Amino acid sequence: MSDSFGPRWRRRLPVPVGLAAAATALLLVSPASAVVPDASAPPADLGRAADEQASVVEVRLAGTAQLDALVATGVDLDHHVTRTEDGLVVHAVVTPAEAATLTAAGYALGRVVHRPADAQARVAEREAAIADHKADNQEFTAAATAAGVSDVKIIRADYYTSGASQVLSVEAKWAQGQTSTAALTVARDSGPGTEIGSGGTQSVSRFVDAGVYLYHRGAALVTSRPDYVRITSPTGDVAVAKVREWLPVSATDPEGPGYQKDFVTSYLTPTDLYGRIRQLAAEFPDLAEIVELPHRTNGYRRHAQAVLGTTTASRVAVDSLAWGHEGGNDVSLELAHPGGANAPLSVDVSGSAVRVGLATDAGGAVTSTAAEVVAALNARAGSLLRAYTYRGSAGGGVVAPAARTLLTDDLSAPASVSRDPHPVYAIRIGKHRDGSKPGVLAYAQEHAREWVPPLVTVETAERLLRNYAHDGRTKQLLNDLDIWIAPSINPDGGHYSFYDFNSQRKNMTNHCPLTGAADFLARDSWGVDNNRNYTEYSLFDGFSGASSSCTSGTYAGPGELSEPENRNLDWLAARPNIRFSMNLHSSGNYFMWSPGAYALPGRVSAPRPTLDEESAFWGASERILSAIKRHRNMAVTPARTGPISDVLYSAAGNSGDMLWYRYGIYAWNFEVGTSFQPEWTEAHEETMEFANGLVELMRVARDFDKDQTRPESGLVVGPGATPGTVDVTFEVSEPAAVFYTLDGGVPTYSSTRYGSAGIREGGETLTVPLGATVHWFSVDSAGNVENNYTPDGSGRNFRKAVATLPIG
């Protein structure tokens, strides 16, 4: 996998490969038993058959006299002569018959240094290198400018299919993008060997966030896959890039014969979700268990409330002291006209019924103000209710009589939905659930109205458990991973969304003050956004994308981790073996990771992952998204894949940032589908495709744990912008960090780490003097070091190259 998405305007220095291992026994005579050839004997007959191929073989000699005798035989020797403690070692180019003749003459043959097959491989490498250089030169010529000179750079050019459509997505950076609103025009060819422009053109427009230009982006339908695209900037500069395929369809289906899926048949409330995972754990006790998380929610419950009156100054708001289901819904309030003049303000309480007799003047008109009624209620009915003026009003308006009104919690869920503080459950899946295996965490419904993501978690749990007995790959996952699935982090909000207010996003906790929107009329606006209440780069740290308003959809709460739902997720993330996670949301078909927040002004981002970490995110993402696409060819687009704050918006205090920055977990975020509560037919399809992706995350985690492949890397050299310099980048065979020196020093983990060129740009370009010595090594995220190099300063098998350009 390359860590660069840009144009191929560079020369590639191939990574060295070892010679092929010997396929047959070496032609060898032990020196102890060797017959020393008689220098005066006639030369051996080394006639070579026309159909025989020669290899390079070591010949071990006692000294120069033997060397002279060997030369006299007429054997084909190369220029290799090495002196050892035992004599000399030379290299002879001989066929098998010639080798046999030399052995019969008493010469000791050693190892085979080079075989005909090695030469054939080198020829193939040569042809590939020539073709590559020709392509590079053609691209360079077409671009009409040296790398680094053009003011426009194509950072991604992706062809993909989605449904029946073919799409080309292009992203580019233009040096004038911050100040100019101009769009850029992309010209494309119509396939390999065709002229750029023959496939038509499309526009890419500026992507500006928080007043900061990030890049140009855009996508268009095409009728065939382009091979190259070109952008000519308004200033006349040119960039050319090769088109890559995004999410190609794999011929390998990871789901073996008899693989079971499609276990979800309807939307599920949080009560249903918990019941479903309890049923699974009971059915598969050797593979799963239910874990009650340590913090119960505040509960699907409210105090009964009412607001009487029609104007801000004259309204009276009341809340029962008891929860609605515990008697608060039985409390009633009447504001009565006494029916006469000069009546005093009075309050009568009979059981749960409260009657206020309003004061009147000599003409019989009501004179009681809202503030006076509030004070009287709190003084005389304070054991049943709490009264307050409306949203901080002084309450100077005269109260109008109101008929007897029952206070209500306005909750409609059936009695089967508990009104008590609610336990939150996760199902833990795996053959070894003791923390000894790498952990994977999946969680959903931080946002209550998102009904499809919890279904994805349940479908995934069903697939993992029901396929264990007969599907080998599933068995590997459960044998080698410790999987935690929490289908509903926010059950209170989830129940409220199902039964009361389908657009509910947050939990149900009312943090609004009595002087604010704490009253009955604001009941659908309360709650904390559970995905803004975490600890890293939050509103409380000065980051953007969350609100301090208790009625905002992105209310961050009174403080970090103030909510039990958030403390539960923090507890899960703190499991020391958790290495990967997926936070499932909807909607928009996004796939994202950190950073998820920035501060204003200036769009100061949370720390960006290193180039190798970003490459690991991209590499695993393509696997996961390809699995999603396999269901019905729905592609999550390149433009909607990447860090949260790059492709969506800033979301201060989100869970992904806490998992990544605080706990070092590779944390992703699905945004499933195109709406929060689609019709069931569509919801079912989204569940099936994103469950594919969630299972693939498990495979990514297992592959990471089993990875023992050492990365390989190479140096890429291109012309510099000024005489006497070259531009240098690194290529790696997989996502891996590169540590390098330019001063001839030994590279270690303290050396400079190869970095990113910028947002979505791949590796940086280093400008160095022509002929500079570059030392480096690469190490992947699993800790595998290239060449088994020990980067403590004592090793010498690091990579080495001189930064020079090809001749000609």
244 DSSP β-pair partners: 158
pLDDT tens figures, 511-525: 999 999 999 999 999
Of the listed ranges 147-151, 364-368, 387-391, 441-445, the one predicted with least confidence: 147-151
**pLDDT score recorded for residue 1:** 34
Report pLDDT for 112.
87
| 8 has pLDDT over 50 | no
Q: What is the pLDDT of residue 68?
A: 59
Compute the average pLDDT of residues 658-681. 97
Q: What is the DSSP letter of 803?
A: -
Per-residue buried b or exposed e for 475-508, using 16+ beta carbons within 10 Å of the residue's own CB: eebbebbbbbbbbbbbbbbbbbbbbbbeebbbbb
Is the pLDDT at 129 greater than 90? The verdict is no
* pLDDT of amino acid 131: 44
Task: Quote the CA–CA distance of 257 and 673 in Å, as a whole number.
Answer: 28
Burial of 281-306, coded b for 16+ CB within 10 Å and e otherwise, reads: beebeebbebbebebbbbbbbbbbbb
Q: Is the pLDDT reported for residue 140 higher than 60? A: no
Sheet of 766-769: strand order equals 11-12, 713-719, 725-732, 766-769
Q: Is the pLDDT of residue 12 over 90?
A: no
Given a cut of 50, whether residue 750 has pLDDT beyond it is: yes
pLDDT of residue 256: 85
pLDDT the model gives residue 83: 55
Average pLDDT, the chain: 89
Least confidently predicted of 109-113, 730-734, 801-805: 109-113
End-to-end CA distance of the chain: 29
Query: Is the preceding omega at residue 587 within 30 degrees of 0, hence cis?
Result: yes
> What pLDDT, on the 0 to 100 scale, is given for residue 733?
96
Phi, psi of 323 (to 5 degrees): -60, 155
**What pLDDT band is residue 76 in, cutting at 50, 70 and 90?**
low
> What are 628-641's pLDDT values in tens digits?
999 999 999 999 99
Asked whether the predicted pLDDT for residue 430 surpasses 50, the reply is yes
**Counting every residue, how long is the chain?**
808
- Mean pLDDT (whole number) for 698-719: 97
pTM assigned to the model: 0.80
User: Are 32 and 108 spatial neighbours (Cβ–Cβ below 8 Å)?
Assistant: no
Beta-bridge partners for 437: none
pLDDT in the model for residue 399: 98
Q: How confident is the model at residue 458 (pLDDT cuts 50, 70, 90)?
A: very high
Share of the chain above pLDDT 70, in %: 86
d(CA 574, CA 370): 51
State residue 212's pLDDT score. 92
For position 249, what pLDDT does the model report?
79
Tokens 């501060």 -> residue? 599
Q: Contact, 230 vs 239, CB < 8 A?
A: yes
Neighbours of 26 (CB within 10 A): 11
What is the spatial distance between Cα 259 and Cα 239, in angstroms, rounded to a whole number? 47
Residue 660 has pLDDT above 50, yes or no: yes
Strand order in the sheet with 773-780: 752-753, 736-741, 773-780, 799-802
> What is the token pair recorded at 63?
């000294």
d(CA 126, CA 132): 10
Tell me, what DSSP letter sits at residue 177?
T
Q: What is the pLDDT of residue 97?
A: 82
As a whole number, mean pLDDT of residues 111-133 equals 50
Instruction: Record the tokens describing residue 609, joined without a space.
Output: 């992952």
pLDDT value, residue 62: 86
Q: Which amino acid is at 271?
A: T
Flag whether pLDDT at 423 surpasses 50.
yes
Q: Are 170 and 217 in contact (CB under 8 A)?
A: yes
Q: 727 versus 795: which is more confidently predicted? A: 727
Instruction: Give the torsion sign (CA, 279, 281, 285, 287).
Output: positive
Mean pLDDT for 44-60 is 65
pLDDT for 56 equals 74
Place of tokens 């190490």: 779
pLDDT tops 80 at residue 386? yes
Lowest mean pLDDT among 247-261, 283-297, 335-349, 471-485: 247-261
pLDDT tier at 111, thresholds 50, 70, 90:
confident
| pLDDT (mean) for 181-189 | 97
Determine if the peptide bond prior to 638 is cis (ω within 30°).
no
